[in-house]
Amino acid sequence: MSQGSNSSGLRRYNERVMLTYLRKFRTASKSDLARATNLTPQAVTRIVDDLEQAELVVREGRRLGGLGQPSTLYTLNAAGAYSVGIKIGRRDLELLLLDFTGRMLTNFKREFDQPDPDYILEQIGELLPQLCATLDRSAQKKLRGVGVAMPWFLGAWPNDLEMASDLSARWRDINLSEEIAKCTDLPIFFENDGAAAAIAELQLGVGRDISDFLYVNIGAFIGGGLVLHSNLEPGVHGNTAELASMPVPHSELFGTQPSKGGFDLLTQRASLLTLRRYLNDKGIPISHIGELPEHIDKARIFVQEWMDDCADALVYAFMSAISILDLKAIVIDANLPRFIIEELVAMVERRLTAMAAKDIFVPAIIPGQLGPEAIAVGGGILPFYSSFGADKTVLLKGSVPERRMI
């Protein structure tokens, strides 16, 4: 056992493992959990009984069949805990309330052309109390925290984002965690938007069946997260799978010049900002990608051209990634209509399979399950992931990673 670990840390870790498997299985008996966790039936019984006493799990019927007595089934208690998620995007703000199963109870959305920090903080200060007030007083006591999912370097790309230089400077100077902390007494957890979406996919999507995957989220920029052994891999600086700056071959489609190195960045070929600009150049007047369904008939041919170019860039990036990482799957999600995501996934899968060298295991290419809500839901999952995820740091004294919580 690692230095600094103790029996209480091991007990907390085993409780987290139990909750993780219940989230994965949805319902399970104590015998199911004992087999999955390799813990003794006696240990599982003690832990599940304690979790039931803490109102984090509840009984949900009995399983008949086989020899012996019917098995009692357990599931997560939706009313056992709650959390608030905040997505701060380059074009939108979203606040939502989740129950312990990850179900969205209510949400608020705001869209804008420029991510003005004063406006965003004003809206958070106004909407956060309203969101919490939708719970009764007893439920409010079960709020575990506020998770904030946002780009780490929001003010670092002013030209690409059509952002005024003074606005970019304000984002570089602001201490957002301190400002949001003024709006609530709840603990606040921060994570990169792509990584937060990856946690949501791990907890509520394909992560229930796949323990190792690269998650890709195509938003205004492209981002992602790396999941290994059913845990988010943050990296030294909390910036693992920051895909936007990955170099890819230059494309002639958008009429831009390659950088000094002769290549494009992945976000210049695989992002919704690039798609919107391309559609605007082709006479499709949309200011936000959410307007795309209204113009899809006229825009379809140009969306297809973007998808062809995007798929080529993604294949190049994925070839680089899988030459280093041995993954079960690559998950692609985006704030796009579902049929477009599925078509893009199929295009990438065909091209990657055709191009992969014989000594490379090609991972499954699959669509994410959360779609446009992935980042906001990821923010809401952060307090649960930090408090209840099967993170081995709880085996050590000082269990919560400091970078995630203030």
What confidence tens digit (pLDDT) does each residue in 136-160 have? 999 999 999 999 999 987 766 545 5
Residue 249 to residues 147, 315, 322, Cα–Cα distance (Å): 36, 11, 18
Among 212, 120, 204, CA closest to 389? 204
Q: What pLDDT sits at residue 287?
A: 86
Give me the chain's average pLDDT, please.
Answer: 89
Q: Is the pLDDT of residue 67 over 50?
A: yes
Q: Is the pLDDT of residue 347 over 80?
A: yes
Q: What pLDDT sits at residue 390?
A: 73
d(CA 333, CA 119): 28
Long-range contacts of residues 338-346, Cβ cutoff 8 Å, at least 24 apart: 338/367, 338/371, 340/303, 340/307, 341/367, 341/368, 341/371, 342/367, 343/307, 344/307, 344/310, 344/311
Sign of the Cα torsion 8, 9, 11, 12 reads positive
Residue type (1 letter), 140:
Q
Q: What pLDDT sits at residue 132?
A: 96
> Which residues, at least 6 apart from 48, have a Cβ–Cβ distance to it below 8 Å?
18, 30, 33, 57, 74
What confidence tens digit (pLDDT) does each residue in 86-119 have? 999 988 999 999 999 999 999 999 988 888 999 9
d(CA 181, CA 57): 30
CB count in 10 Å sphere of residue 74: 23
What confidence tens digit (pLDDT) does each residue in 254-307 have? 888 888 888 999 999 999 999 999 999 999 999 888 889 899 999 999 999 999
CB count in 10 Å sphere of residue 386: 22
What percent of the residues of the chain are helix, what percent strand, and what percent coil, each to the nearest 5? 45, 20, 35
The model scores a pTM over 0.75? yes
Q: Is the pLDDT of residue 405 over 50?
A: no
Residue 103 to residues 52, 76, 81, 373, Cα–Cα distance (Å): 20, 12, 11, 12
Q: Is the pLDDT of residue 27 over 90?
A: yes
Q: What pLDDT sits at residue 167?
A: 86
Per-residue pLDDT band for 11 (boundaries 50, 70, 90) equals confident
Q: Is the pLDDT of residue 393 over 60?
A: no
Give the lowest-confidence range in 66-70, 175-179, 238-242: 66-70
Per-residue pLDDT averaged across 326-334, rounded?
Answer: 95
Among 145, 237, 232, 147, CA closest to 195? 232
What is the Cα Rg of the chain in Å? 22
d(CA 214, CA 206): 11
Q: What pLDDT sits at residue 406?
A: 44
Among 124, 116, 114, 117, CA closest to 94? 124
Instruction: With H, G, I as helix, E, B as strand and everything else as coil, classify residue 385.
Output: helix
Among 284, 232, 161, CA closest to 389? 232
Q: Is the pLDDT of residue 401 over 50?
A: no
Q: In what order do the strands lie in the sheet with 329-334?
A: 231-232, 222-228, 213-218, 329-334, 364-367
What confidence tens digit (pLDDT) does each residue in 181-213 have? 999 999 999 999 999 999 999 999 999 999 999
Q: What pLDDT sits at residue 43?
A: 94
Q: What pLDDT sits at residue 4?
A: 43
Percentage of the chain beyond pLDDT 90 is 69
d(CA 39, CA 45): 10
Per-residue pLDDT averaged across 332-348, rounded?
Answer: 95
Per-residue pLDDT band for 402 (boundaries 50, 70, 90) equals very low
Residue type (1 letter), 326:
D
Q: Is the pLDDT of residue 400 over 60?
A: no
Q: What pLDDT sits at residue 239?
A: 85
Residue 142 to residues 51, 314, 355, 399, Cα–Cα distance (Å): 14, 42, 51, 21
Question: What domains are defined for the chain?
Answer: 7-76 (1.10.10.10), 80-198+375-404 (3.30.420.40), 206-369 (3.30.420.40)
What confidence tens digit (pLDDT) does each residue in 207-259 have? 999 999 999 999 989 999 999 999 999 888 888 998 999 999 999 898 888 88
Among 216, 38, 149, 185, CA closest to 378? 149
